[in-house]
Amino acid sequence: MSRRQRFASSATHVSPERTEVLGVGVDLVTEDDVLRAAANHLADRAQLRIVTVNAEYVMIARRRPDFADVIARADLATPDGMGVVWAMRLRGANQRARVGGSDLIWSLSRLAASRGESVFLLGAADGVAREAARRLQAHVPGLVIAGTFAGSPSAAEAGAIVQRIKRSGASILYVAFGAPGQDAWLDRHLEATGALIGIGVGGSFDYVAGRARRAPGWMRESGLDWLWRLIRQPWRWRRMLALPHFAYLVLVEGLRKGFVRE
């Protein structure tokens, strides 16, 4: 069943408009749109897989058709990062802000608490998911944690992890295996876990647990969060090389297709 067919299967599920960033589909959504879709799917006991697309994801998808397919099959592909938002705006899309996993982990947890649903935290280093869960509960009254587990995206572990999540009865599953492993894992296994909402959240557990600090708001809004991460984690410099390449390709495409005037 296609993404639009899944959304159309219920009158309460409205498929958002999707635009392309260097050939990768990204939805025009706000955080409220995502929460509304999540609430509707929880009410209907229907599954919703969310992928948060940043510039690195776009560049990986260009090299790996299998990962491009993982993004294309997602029910929601949100713009995570001002680089992607900027690229969408160049195409004329009225995308106002980024919608990333580091924010959604909090708002989805509040939604879960308000509806009596539980969440499961999968991934990150040993102990990080457990500490993140403790802090989420401390800041989100009434939040039920169904379980936490470090695990790995290894195929050899998948069966046992799926059964662990299924036994927990979790409604919302956060996976922090990093890119592209977390989203590929959800694409293959979300249905079997029985969880209704699945989302890859990257390094969000580290932020929630206090193991890492997010960039100040002004840096995130101006698209300089990559610089913050590079300063604090200089070992990421190879991954950061994708960002100028991404910007160059967006500008070239914009000039070629008339989105940008010389």
Bridge-based pairing of strands 18-21 and 24-27 is antiparallel
Residue 209 belongs to a domain: no
Residues 61, 106 share a domain: yes
Token code pair at residue 238: 């190879």
Tens digit of pLDDT for each residue in 18-70? Answer: 999 999 999 999 999 999 999 999 999 999 999 999 999 999 999 999 999 99
Residues 88, 13 share a domain: yes
Residues 230, 134 share a domain: no
Tens digit of pLDDT for each residue in 168-187? Answer: 999 999 999 998 999 999 99
The dihedral over CA atoms of 161, 199, 76, 246, expressed in degrees to the nearest 10, equals -110
What is the residue range of 188's domain? 3-201
Residues 157, 56 share a domain: yes
Token code pair at residue 2: 């296609």
Position 197 pLDDT exceeds 80: yes
Number of residues written out for the chain? 262
Tens digit of pLDDT for each residue in 102-155? Answer: 999 999 999 999 999 999 999 999 999 999 999 999 999 999 999 999 999 999
Residues 222, 196 share a domain: no
Residues 243, 175 share a domain: no
Residues 85, 36 share a domain: yes
**Rounded-to-integer distance, Cα 79 and Cα 55, Å:** 9
Neighbours of 78 (CB within 10 A): 28
Question: When comparing pLDDT for 13 and 54, which is higher?
Answer: 54
Residues 180, 247 share a domain: no
Residues 13, 109 share a domain: yes
Residue 208 belongs to a domain: no
Tens digit of pLDDT for each residue in 62-92? Answer: 999 999 999 999 999 999 988 899 999 999 9
Scanning the chain, the segments in alpha helix (DSSP H) are 3-8, 31-44, 55-63, 65-73, 82-90, 101-115, 128-139, 155-168, 181-193, 204-209, 217-221, 225-232, 237-240, 242-257
Residues 73, 170 share a domain: yes
Query: What is the tally of structural domains in the chain?
Result: 2
Residues 224, 189 share a domain: no
Q: Which of 85-99, 154-168, 201-215 has the lowest mean pLDDT?
A: 201-215
Residues 151, 96 share a domain: yes
